[in-house]
Amino acid sequence: MAYEFAERGATEAVEEGRALAPKFDADGLLTCVTTDATSGDVLMVAHMNAEALARTIESGEAWYFSRARRKLWRKGESSGHVQRVTEMRVDCDQDAVWIKVRQEGPGACHTGRRACFYRGVPLGKAPDKSLVLEFRDAEKAFDPQSVYGDKR
């Protein structure tokens, strides 16, 4: 696909301007926060390269770049759990985007949960070996083995 982003200008232009001039990191990626358009919960944090960002903008469906698999990845291509983007925002220095999505299917997380953030970290004490994470909203919404098989 053909696409083009604006060139990065001075700080003032990046922060106060109307051009999309993303700041990709040394690996060519920016951070994407994905929230549920209805509940507002954070579903996942992932990365986009330039093509994933362009495809998301063009299609209105979430595309990411998998750092583990080193490949472009249309969310839901294996599971059918597509994400329809209702809104995209970019942050001040344009190294992160926030997308609000309608999640198709039971969940966004490859572990079978609705969302990736299913464990709480207890606060108030410096972390040590005694720290115990607390499962929250951790019910499995689908069986990852049957959905992903060996592609997980």
Query: Which residues here bind its own copies, judged by CB under 8 A?
Result: 1-6, 15-20, 31, 33, 35, 39-42, 44-45, 53-54, 56-58, 60, 85, 87-92, 96-98, 109-111, 113, 116-129, 131-136
User: Which of residues 33 and 82 has its CB atom nearest to its own copies in the complex?
Assistant: 33
Pairing of strands 30-36, 96-103: parallel
Give least dist CB 62 to its own copies, A.
Answer: 11
Give least dist CB 90 to its own copies, A.
Answer: 5
If we measure between CA atoms, which residue out of 19, 40, 15, 18 comes closest to residue 101? Answer: 40
Listed in sequence order, the residues at least 6 apart from 54 whose beta carbon sits closer than 8 Å to its beta carbon are 1, 3, 5
Give least dist CB 41 to its own copies, A.
Answer: 8
Q: How far apart are the C-alpha atoms of 31 and 49, rounded to whole Å? A: 9
Give least dist CB 6 to its own copies, A.
Answer: 7
User: Which of residues 77 and 135 has its CB atom nearest to its own copies in the complex?
Assistant: 135
Q: How far apart are the C-alpha atoms of 18 and 90, rounded to whole Å? A: 11
Q: How far apart are the C-alpha atoms of 18 and 104, rounded to whole Å? A: 31
Name the 3-class secondary structure at 30: strand
Name the 3-class secondary structure at 45: strand
Give least dist CB 26 to its own copies, A.
Answer: 9
